[in-house]
Structure 1
Amino acid sequence: MNCYLEPNIYLLHLIILIMSLALLSSYLQLLSTSQDLAAISDDGEPRFLAPIPNLTVAVGRDAQLTCLVSSLGPYKAAWLRVEDKGILTIHQHVISRNYRLSLITHENRSFVLVIKNVQESDRGGYMCQINTVPMKSQVGFLDVLVPPRFEPSNQSWDQMVTEGYNVTLTCYTQGNPSPSVKWRREDNSEIIFQDHNKKYSVRSIAGDSLTILRVTRIHMGVYLCIASNGVPPAISRRIQLHVNFAPTIWIGNRIVKGSVGSSIILNCHIEAFPITEKYWTKGVDNIRLPESSSKYLIKSIDKLYKSTFQLKISSLEQDDYDDYRCYARNNLGFHEGVITLNETDEPEDDSDELMDNKIDSTRGELSSNSIDSHQTISGRKFKETRSRDKKRGIKDSNGQQLDNNVNPLQVTFVVPMLMIIVKII
């Protein structure tokens, strides 16, 4: 009897051992999936483990949007564009034809949408969706930073306006965030404004447009429109402002002296824009002079709306002593300036100018230490006048040709003495 029961006890122990191992295996499996079990909702369907983080990426960089799901089971996750509901991926497959899109998955829990070389068109919402009933989804947003750029425009960047009118320079830009725009002159000079008869100037000014009231020639030049939004690089554009106005001419020295055989340069200063024509003439007949010859050479030194118009006369002769006129003309008007060329026997110096500086402008008198010098200058001027009279064939009261060798002081004192003697007789 005892022998019969002993094998049954062993069998019972074996059954108990097998059952214990099965329970232990189930328990271990339960532990390994405890995280999933804890995430399972009451109805047993999958859910999202974390929200999709919003991203801000500069254009040209890569972006990754992550969707975490628990206990997906037989269900599938997909990525869609919010704006057009276009399907990008389903489960582990990329559906979109956009070659810049790819998908990274891990253990049926993590679905990462990768967008390479992000473009401005990629900005918007991206939805991660699970095909439960009803559907479950969450959305993450991608913002794309774009450096500033200028809006396309049919308007010419160079502007032209008549002096006295108003002008507005515009510079419209795009970018994300919206760029800020400021204006300044290319040469760093100040921008001059006039508002209600009050003038003021600034180095730079902000805004998409720059308005200048009652434009003058001093506003002419290059203006820079500079745009920035914190996303490199900042950009700038040159806008040339042309101001049209009638010519004006001023002459520094209206009487110029030169000796026979020497060369001399006559300077005529012109302000005009545009200048359609400028030239030199000679004499009362206004004979137009050639730009280049053995006798004459005409040269213009131009800077913006100002120009120094020069006439070089080589190897002076008696016939060269005459009046010379410079002319400037455009469609708004014309102007002329006159320079008289006189003969002198002495090299030209700055004595006259130095003596003039000694005049007391507040009293209109010569300073005491300049009287003798002034007399000398007056004598030389008298001599130059006599020389010019000789060239023109002027004779004295006796019909004799004037002699350049006559001392001007002799003339000054001898003539009054002769008059006194005549009265006495």
Structure 2
Amino acid sequence: MVLGAPSESLLSDDHDDFEAADVGGDDYDEEEEMNSSYKKPNFTSMAQHFRVRMGDNVRLPCEVDELGPGYTLLWKREEGDILTAGSVLIVKDTRISHEGNSLIIRNISLVDQGSYICQISTQDQRELRHVIDILVPPSVKPVPSTGLAVVKKGEPVTLSCEVAGNPLPVVTWTREGAKKFPDGQKTMLGHMITFVKTDRHHSGVYTCTAENSEGSPAKGVINLEVTYEPEIEVELNLVTIAEGYNTELTCTVHGEPKPNVFWSKNGERLDSATGPNTPHHRYVQTSTGSRHVLSIDNVQSHDFANYTCHGENRFGRDHKTIEMTGVASTATLKRNKPLTNGVELEWVTVSHTPLMEYRLRYRRPSASHWEELLLKANEQDSEQGGMLFNHVHQLHGLASATEHELTIESKNKFGWSRPLHVEFTTLPEEAAVHEAGRVTGSAAHQTSWSAVSATIVLTLAAILC
């Protein structure tokens, strides 16, 4: 049998449907009758899945038990491109050759990935299918490609990375400097992450890392900028200080774009100039990152005022006020012990100048009128060089088993401090009997223990003598 005719048929536009019948005419009946006297060939090779790296060589086997006269073996791609027909190499690719019935592909590249079919030209077109899978190291392209995403505060944003590689890489997101995500997670998985509602805490640098079994991990970096109006925080909203001392007023200002920051005193803007001839030469304004400081040297009484930190950008403005004063600090409560007809209180106040008196105001929560009590500050209240003042007072004459609210203020030469708010409930009458019994028993026990202690001391003294 002559193979020329089938070869011409294989090279035609209709080569996907190649069969022995393509020779055509009366010759087919004669050839079919001849072929029927031979055993139909069967594949002895098994279908395989080849996983190869770029640049490798691969051999695709296609062994048959008996390829008798009238049968032709060809190789083709799943897409239909015929590579070989019998001993004839059809494809014009120097990397492809055949050895016997096997197909050889050298220097594998991505275009070689896919299915390869070895076909015998029988009526049923018997096929053996091999798959070539190209192993590819991961690669990453950030979206947006500029690596910069800008979103307005409150709006949603999605950060994503286009990832390629085989096997399909696993993608992990992290933040620069090991910073946690706003929800507290250290990492997030997936080729994209979405923040439904953004705020300034979402701003920062995000890195997507793609990893598979091939090659080194690939990274993509996206800088997320959340634009928003200034947000100001102050460390203290009340600063108490004595004349002659130095102090610092501090505010932290966030905003994107970076806000313009300035200070004012009682509503009057302070000039940033700090020379000796300026009106506020003792005032110095400095900043480090988002932290802004107003330093005041050698504080004088006329420096006591309200100082406001202002921040503004094209999205808005914000401000926070710090009161600097010579009055005492708000008292700190040390003891709040309810009694049947009152309460026992102990509090501590910090003041740079001596305290003159205390003011207690108290009432039931439902009452509109406050009762007021003025207490003279005692010299013995002073501790730690005269800056710390401790005071104890029992307030009587209140109804038992009743809720009360109370405020405590301290006064020095600069005026009254801010009030300390206290709540308490007086004890019921029956608690007084129990409390008296407990105190009497405790006193008796203390007297007994004191007598024993005295005896021990006298005995030790006699022994030592």
Which range, TM-score by smaller chain? Answer: 0.5 to 0.7
Once the two structures are superposed, the pairs formed by residues 218-257 of structure 1 within 5 Å of their partners are 218-252=201-235, 255=239
Name the CA distance, whole Å, in 2 between partners of 1:99 and 1:384.
Answer: 101
Q: Is the 8 A contact 1:184 1:225 kept in 2?
A: yes
Please report the TM-score for the alignment, with normalisation by the length of structure 2.
Answer: 0.52
1:88 aligns with 2:83: yes
Shift of 1:334: 1.5
Looking at CA atoms only, which structure, 1 or 2, has the larger radius of gyration?
1
1:164 is matched with which residue? 154
Q: Deviations over 1:84-142 (max 9, x none)?
A: x3233455564433343343x2xxxx333232332332122213345678866533222
Q: Is the 8 A contact 1:182 1:204 kept in 2?
A: yes
1:140 is matched with which residue? 130
1:97 aligns with 2:60: no
> What SS does the aligned partner of 2:101 have?
strand
Name the CA distance, whole Å, in 1 between partners of 2:346 and 2:315.
Answer: 41
> What SS does the aligned partner of 2:48 have?
coil
For the structure 1 residues 246 and 137, does the alpha-carbon distance in structure 2 shift closer, same or farther, using more than 3 Å as the test? closer
> What SS does the aligned partner of 2:382 have?
helix
Q: Deviations over 1:367-410 (max 9, x none)?
A: 9998222782399xx9997xxxxxxxxxxxxxxxxxxxxxxxxx
1:18 is matched with which residue? none
Name the CA distance, whole Å, in 2 between partners of 1:119 and 1:292.
Answer: 72
What letter matches 1:235 in structure 2? A
Structure 1: runs of 5+ lacking an equivalent: 1-39, 194-200, 344-351, 386-425
Please report the TM-score for the alignment, with normalisation by the length of structure 1.
Answer: 0.57
Shift of 1:308: 0.7
Percent of aligned pairs with the same amino acid: 26
1:213 is matched with which residue? 196
Name the CA distance, whole Å, in 2 between partners of 1:293 and 1:238.
Answer: 49
1:181 aligns with 2:174: no
2:56 is matched with which residue? 61
Once the two structures are superposed, the pairs formed by residues 273-422 of structure 1 within 5 Å of their partners are 273-280=256-263, 285-290=268-273, 298-302=285-289, 307-311=290-294, 325-338=308-321, 360=334, 363=345, 365-366=347-348, 371-373=381-383, 376-377=386-387
| Matched positions, count | 318
Shift of 1:297: 6.3
Name the CA distance, whole Å, in 2 between partners of 1:232 and 1:170.
Answer: 22
Picking from 167, 172, 185, the partner of 1:202 is 185
> What SS does the aligned partner of 2:56 have?
coil
Shift of 1:329: 0.7
Name the CA distance, whole Å, in 1 between partners of 2:247 and 2:147.
Answer: 44
Name the CA distance, whole Å, in 2 between partners of 1:93 and 1:283.
Answer: 97
For the structure 1 residues 133 and 273, does the alpha-carbon distance in structure 2 shift closer, same or farther, using more than 3 Å as the test? closer
> What SS does the aligned partner of 1:191 have?
coil
Cα RMSD after superposing both structures:
4.8
Name the CA distance, whole Å, in 2 between partners of 1:141 and 1:68.
Answer: 16
Name the CA distance, whole Å, in 2 between partners of 1:309 and 1:283.
Answer: 18
1:120 aligns with 2:110: yes
Q: Deviations over 1:28-73 (max 9, x none)?
A: xxxxxxxxxxxx9961676644235331223443322122346668
Q: Deviations over 1:2-26 (max 9, x none)?
A: xxxxxxxxxxxxxxxxxxxxxxxxx
Shift of 1:309: 1.6
> What SS does the aligned partner of 1:121 have?
helix
Once the two structures are superposed, the pairs formed by residues 26-65 of structure 1 within 5 Å of their partners are 43=38, 48-65=43-60
Structure 2: runs of 5+ lacking an equivalent: 1-34, 337-344, 350-377, 390-410, 415-465
> What SS does the aligned partner of 1:288 have?
coil
Shift of 1:79: 2.8
Q: Is the 8 A contact 2:242 2:299 kept in 1?
A: no
For the structure 1 residues 178 and 286, does the alpha-carbon distance in structure 2 shift closer, same or farther, using more than 3 Å as the test? same
Shift of 1:280: 4.2
What letter matches 2:334 in structure 1? D
For the structure 1 residues 116 and 207, does the alpha-carbon distance in structure 2 shift closer, same or farther, using more than 3 Å as the test? same
Shift of 1:80: 2.2
Once the two structures are superposed, the pairs formed by residues 74-85 of structure 1 within 5 Å of their partners are 77-83=73-79, 85=80
For the structure 1 residues 259 and 56, does the alpha-carbon distance in structure 2 shift closer, same or farther, using more than 3 Å as the test? same
> What SS does the aligned partner of 1:68 have?
coil
For the structure 1 residues 263 and 284, does the alpha-carbon distance in structure 2 shift closer, same or farther, using more than 3 Å as the test? same
- Of Structure 1 and Structure 2, the greater helix share is in 1
Name the CA distance, whole Å, in 1 between partners of 2:44 and 2:265.
Answer: 97
For the structure 1 residues 92 and 212, does the alpha-carbon distance in structure 2 shift closer, same or farther, using more than 3 Å as the test? same
What letter matches 2:386 in structure 1? T
